[in-house]
Amino acid sequence: MPRPAKRTSNSMPKISLIDAGPLVAFLRESERHHAWAVEQFKRFPIFSTCEAVLAEACARLSYYRQNQRRVVDLLVQGALVTDFDLKRSADRVSRLMKKYADLPMDLADACIVTMTEQISDCLVVTLDHSDFSVYRRHERAVVPFISPRR
pLDDT in tens, the chain (150 residues): 544 433 334 467 899 999 999 999 999 999 999 999 999 999 998 999 999 999 999 999 999 999 999 999 999 999 999 989 999 999 999 999 999 999 999 999 999 999 999 998 999 999 999 999 999 999 999 999 999 976
- DSSP conformation letters of 127-150: S-HHHHHH-EETTTEEPPEE----
Establish how many alpha carbons lie within 13 A of residue 61's alpha carbon, considering only the half-sphere containing its beta carbon: 22
Within a domain: 3? no
Q: Determine the pLDDT at residue 6.
A: 38
Within a domain: 1? no
CATH code at position 87: 3.40.50.1010
Q: Determine the pLDDT at residue 46.
A: 96
Q: Determine the pLDDT at residue 106.
A: 97
> What whole-number distance in Å separates Cα of residue 74 and Cα of residue 19?
14
Within a domain: 6? no
Q: Determine the pLDDT at residue 47.
A: 98
Q: Determine the pLDDT at residue 149.
A: 77
Within a domain: 47? yes
Within a domain: 8? no
| Cβ–Cβ under 8 Å, residues 129 and 142 | no
Q: Residue 31: helix, strand or coil by DSSP?
A: coil
Within a domain: 111? yes
Within a domain: 9? no
> Which domain range does residue 68 map to?
15-146
Q: Determine the pLDDT at residue 45.
A: 87
Please tell me the total count of domains within the chain. 1
Within a domain: 70? yes
Picking from 107, 123, 120, 119, the residue whose alpha carbon sits closest to that of residue 47 is 123
